[in-house]
Structure 1
C-alpha cells in the first residue's frame, strides 16, 4: 500500500472526484453505449465468429493448408470490418474518445495545479532560507 493510500483525506478527495466523474454526462453516455454494446447479441455473434475463424486459420496453417488458411483470413477480415462498421461499435469508439479526452483534461489540470503548488512552496522555502527569522546575519 502506498503512503498516499493511507492518507484518509486524499482517499476521501479521490472518492469525491470519482463520484463527480461518474456523474459527468460524457462518462454517463459512454457507460450507456458500453452497456448496449456488451449486451448486443449480434456483436457477440460476430466476436464468436471471429474467434472461430482465427482458430481455423491457425489450424489450417499448422496442417499446411494454405488455401484454407487464406480463406479463413479473408473471413476474419470481413468479420472485423462488419464489427468495426456496426453503429454501436462506432458510437462506443466515439464516446470512448470523448471520455478519454475528459480524463486527460482532468489529469492534466490536476498535474498542473500540483506542480504549481510545489513550485510555490519551493519559492517560499528559498525566500525563507535567504532571510531567516532567527536573528542571524547572512
Structure 2
C-alpha cells in the first residue's frame, strides 16, 4: 500500500492535530497504550512469544523433513504456549482495551464522515438552489 501525502489548508491541519492530541489523551487510548507497553516489558510474556516462534520454526522444519511425530509434538507445545499467552490476564485486558480503542476510533471516524458528508450535501443543495 502506497502512503499518499495530502496537503490541506493550514486550518484543517491544526484541527486534525488537535483531534489527534485529544484522542491521545483519552482514557481509553491511554489505557490501551499502557497495557501495550506492559506486555512489551513483561519478561514472561516475551519468553512465551519467543517459545511460540521457536516451536513454529520447528514445525516448519519437521514438516519439511517429513517427520510427522516431531511435527505433532512441536505443534502441541506451540499450542500450549499460545494458550498460556492468550489466557494471561495482561493479554486479556490488552485485547479488551484494543476493542474499546477501536470502537472509539470507529465512532470518531463515523462522526467525522457524517459531518463532512452533511456539510457537502448542504453546500451542494445551496449551489443547486442558487442555480434555479
Task: Provide the TM-score with structure 1 as the length reference.
Answer: 0.90
Which residue in the other structure is 2:32 paired with? Answer: 30
- Distance in 1 separating the partners of 2:27 and 2:72: 45
**1:56 to 2:61 alignment:** no
Counterpart among 88, 98, 101 of residue 99 in structure 1 = 101
Q: How does 1:1-138 map to 2 (within 5 A)?
A: 1-4=5-8, 7-130=9-132
Return 5+ residue gaps in structure 1 as ranges: 131-138
Aligned CA RMSD, in angstroms, stands at: 0.8
Which whole-Å deviations, capped at 9, do the CAs of 1:30-72 have from their partners, x for residues lacking one? 1111111111000000000001101111111111111000110
* Matched positions, count: 128
Report which of the two structures shows the higher radius of gyration computed on alpha carbons: 1
- Distance in 2 separating the partners of 1:102 and 1:86: 25
Which whole-Å deviations, capped at 9, do the CAs of 1:92-126 have from their partners, x for residues lacking one? 00000000000000000000000000010011000
- Distance in 1 separating the partners of 2:21 and 2:7: 22
Q: CA deviation at 1:3?
A: 3.3
Task: Provide the TM-score with structure 2 as the length reference.
Answer: 0.94
